[in-house]
């Protein structure tokens, strides 16, 4: 189960992994916490239609999500909350709409996610780190409720009306496109073509001072053969993705050779693990065994202090 803040997040963060596991016959579900109603239109081809009121944005985002889910071969659930919109500056300066995901009582949202977890009964969950991957209020709240639901779903005393308790075995943070990953791909493309498609993106990351979390990666899932499926799912979110953007300027054979994995950080595990991993289901597959030297992962902070 991959828990995301908005429709399109599932296609830009770990989509190749979703397609890979779906093709292996593993049940895969994406949970979209919000409908992306307040998201900006990032494809200039749609800007005029949106400004004229000719586009029903919530309905269009739903159709885009359905198309992406079909491409990836996954099931999908809307958690049912409203997008908070993007906000600049420090979190304590944000003025969130009162009906939005980031402004509501998180207990209501946790119960809603627990209900989905107990129904789907996943072995593995993925979500964002404590900073949301980047500081968007919905991404940060997604982290909060995902970690809380990971614990609460197994506790029969919590949300007793939300279904039979279920213990998820592992939960991961999406590694995303770290500065290290972007730089490696960018330099390889620049060497081959003379142009660095991510030059501006890398410069913005460096200017923001956002930390590079690549040293926290524990799990690298090989997905080189699924990059085209990822791109197709991303293009399905046509209001959000400009097909002429730098994202699609990278020859996929170069990306697959330089960095053909989706990367994750194991946040917590209820089973013994042996790190590093190349599979989110390591230790869970029937034929898998955990070798000498393995240990209960515990919390991330416990692992880091060990």
State the binding site: 6, 9, 139
Closest residue by Cα to residue 123 from 154, 160, 163: 154
Q: Is residue 294 a contact partner of residue 273, using CB atoms and an 8 Å limit?
A: yes
Q: How many CB atoms lie within 10 A of CB 47?
A: 14
Q: How many CB atoms lie within 10 A of CB 219?
A: 23
Annotated binding residues for Zn(2+), as ranges? 6, 9, 139
Which two structure tokens, joined as six digits, stand for 274? Answer: 């042996």
Q: Is residue 47 a contact partner of residue 93, using CB atoms and an 8 Å limit?
A: no
Closest residue by Cα to residue 16 from 224, 256, 175: 224
Angle between helices 106-120 and 137-152 (to 10 degrees): 60
Residue 53: left if φ>0, alpha if ψ -120 to 50, beta else—which one? left
Which two structure tokens, joined as six digits, stand for 234? Answer: 């991303």
Q: Is residue 263 a contact partner of residue 220, using CB atoms and an 8 Å limit?
A: yes
Q: Is residue 11 a contact partner of residue 30, using CB atoms and an 8 Å limit?
A: no
């Amino acid at each position: 189960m991959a828990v995301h803040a908005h429709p399109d997040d599932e296609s830009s963060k770990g989509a190749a992994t979703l397609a890979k596991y779906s093709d292996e016959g593993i049940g895969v579900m994406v949970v979209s916490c919000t409908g992306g109603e307040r998201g900006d239109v990032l494809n200039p081809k749609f800007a005029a239609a949106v400004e004229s009121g000719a586009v029903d944005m919530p309905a269009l985002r739903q159709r885009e999500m359905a198309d992406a889910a079909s491409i990836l071969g996954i099931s999908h659930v809307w958690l049912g909350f409203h997008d908070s919109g993007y906000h600049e500056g420090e979190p304590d300066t944000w003025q969130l709409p009162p009906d939005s995901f980031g402004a509501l009582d998180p207990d209501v949202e946790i119960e809603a996610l627990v209900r989905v977890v107990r129904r789907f009964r996943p072995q593995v969950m993925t979500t964002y780190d404590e900073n949301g991957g980047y500081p968007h209020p919905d991404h940060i709240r997604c982290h909060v409720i995902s970690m809380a639901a990971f614990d609460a779903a197994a506790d029969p005393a919590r949300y007793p009306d939300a279904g039979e308790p279920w213990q998820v075995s592992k939960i991961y943070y999406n590694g995303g496109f770290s500065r290290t990953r972007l730089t490696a791909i960018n330099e390889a493309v620049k060497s081959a073509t003379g142009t660095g498609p991510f030059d501006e993106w890398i410069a913005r990351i460096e200017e923001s001072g956002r930390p590079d979390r690549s040293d926290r990666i524990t799990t690298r899932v090989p997905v080189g053969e699924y990059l085209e499926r990822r791109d197709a799912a991303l293009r399905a979110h046509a209001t959000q993705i400009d097909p002429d953007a730098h994202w699609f300027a990278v020859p996929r054979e170069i990306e697959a050779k330089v960095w053909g994995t989706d990367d994750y950080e194991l946040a917590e595990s209820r089973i013994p693990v042996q790190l590093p991993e190349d599979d989110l289901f390591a230790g869970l597959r029937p034929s898998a065994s955990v070798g000498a030297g393995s240990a209960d992962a515990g919390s991330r902070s416990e692992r880091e202090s060990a």
